[in-house]
Amino acid sequence: MDAERGRARGLFSDLRFDLFAVVFAVGTLHHELQFILEQQRVGPFAEYMERWGRAKQTIGWPSEVGIALHLADILIAVLVLVLPWRRALLCLLAVPFLLSQLASPERIASHNSLMAGALAVLLVLGVAEIVERASWRGESDRERTDWYSWTLIGLSWLCALTYIFAAFHKLSPTVFWPPRSQIVDLVAPLLRLLGVPRDWTVNYLGYPLIYGTVILEAVLPLLLFWRPTRLVGCFLGLAFHLPQMAMGVLDFPTLIVAFYPLFLSLEEARALVGRLLVWPSIPRLVSTAVLGGAGVVAISRAAQPLALYSSSRGLEPVLASVHSILLGVTFILFVHVALTLVAWGLRRGATPMPAPLAVSLGSGR
């Protein structure tokens, strides 16, 4: 990682971590909203633990405990979005989130494991920094461990290992047989909206989609870690996950993309935010509107959101609306980031655009 990351003072963070924390908080909100909607498909959320306890063995906590933990997750995620103490808040989020997994009777999905791993890294290293500061009171910063840099390293490697494991996990005959491949099953509905029949997708696009997915997941860690290609890696990762989001799957794509800023240098992060905040060119604005609008239409027709909104019992309309808006806004913002990276790459030889607002954000604690 870059030498510029500096010595930790308190629970220090910079713009890269702020970007990670904000996107991670959005992914957390989606995770919690989707969990509530899924539970209400089969009955009132207020009784979800007792209902699951009749079907399988659970930890035995009453629903009130589980609901309190999930509400704490939502509250802290909202605070991460609006308050500057994001590293401390994510350390705090680790406690109710990890406990809420014990109160979740369903299987632990891949995005849950990614969230738990990231929050565990933050909590363990954050507590270690606090303990060291308390025990080394009065010592100079030079003699202290740079826990913040270790936190960025740990989170970066967690992202890389997640992609490597995802590629390794797909090395099975079922995945590599197009008629039964989960990769083809995910992409086929999206292509069907574009007029491509499933048979054509299976027969002609099946193997390119399968091999392209596995190869990209295997090489993305290298692209993200290597300085000359990390911006390319960020774009390819976004382009890879946007179709998943268009099918209504927001949890894992949002959470894994949250790690991308941690691979950038501080100057690159500031320049990227500066470019994101200025008014885009007409071609980029039109492209964002077209691609974003197409994605929103695809999301509105995707099977997963439709099942959540139409099959739930006792569903609060406001909750469904918030979830739907979160899906659409996140997709459009990711399209904006992807197109900004493309425009930046085309002008890479130009002088970086000044970003005073990004600089002020990066200096916050």
Please answer whether residues 115 and 27 qualify as being in contact, where contact means their C-beta atoms are separated by less than 8 angstroms: yes
Instruction: Transcribe 96-157 into DSSP letters.
Output: HHHHHHHT--S---HHHHHHHHHHHHHHHHHHHHHHHHHHTTT--GGGS--HHHHHHHHHHH
Task: Identify the pLDDT of residue 340.
Answer: 95
What whole-number distance in Å separates Cα of residue 146 and Cα of residue 265? 17
Task: Tell me the per-residue pLDDT of 156-209, one tens digit each, with 9 for 90 and over.
Answer: 999 999 999 999 989 988 899 999 888 898 888 888 877 888 888 888 899 999
**Closest by CA position to 112, among listed 96, 93, 98, 125:** 98
Task: Identify the pLDDT of residue 365.
Answer: 36
User: What pTM does this model have?
Assistant: 0.87
Average confidence score pLDDT of the chain: 84
Q: Where are the beta strands (DSSP E) in 200-318?
A: none
Give the highest mean pLDDT range of 97-106, 108-117, 146-155, 294-303: 146-155
Q: Write the CB contacts of 163 (distance below 8 Å, at least 6 apart in sequence).
A: 217, 218, 220, 221, 256
- Max CA pair span of the chain: 70
In order of 28, 83, 327, the CA distances from 334 in angstroms are 16, 22, 11
> How many angstroms from the chain centroid is the CA of residue 145?
28
**Closest by CA position to 6, among listed 134, 151, 158:** 151
Q: Write the CB contacts of 85 (distance below 8 Å, at least 6 apart in sequence).
A: 11, 365
pLDDT at residue 7 greater than cutoff 80? no
pLDDT at residue 356 greater than cutoff 50? no
- Structure-token match 């425009």, residue found: 343
User: Per-residue confidence at 139, pLDDT binned at 50, 70, 90?
Assistant: low
With 0-12 / 13-18 / 19 or more C-beta atoms within 10 angstroms meaning exposed / middle / buried, residue 33 is buried
The token duo for 301 is 């027709």
| Residues shown for the chain | 365
Task: Tell me the per-residue pLDDT of 204-258, one tens digit each, with 9 for 90 and over.
Answer: 899 999 999 999 999 999 999 999 999 999 999 999 999 989 888 888 999 999 9
Phi, psi of 257 (to 5 degrees): -65, -25
What whole-number distance in Å separates Cα of residue 223 and Cα of residue 160? 10
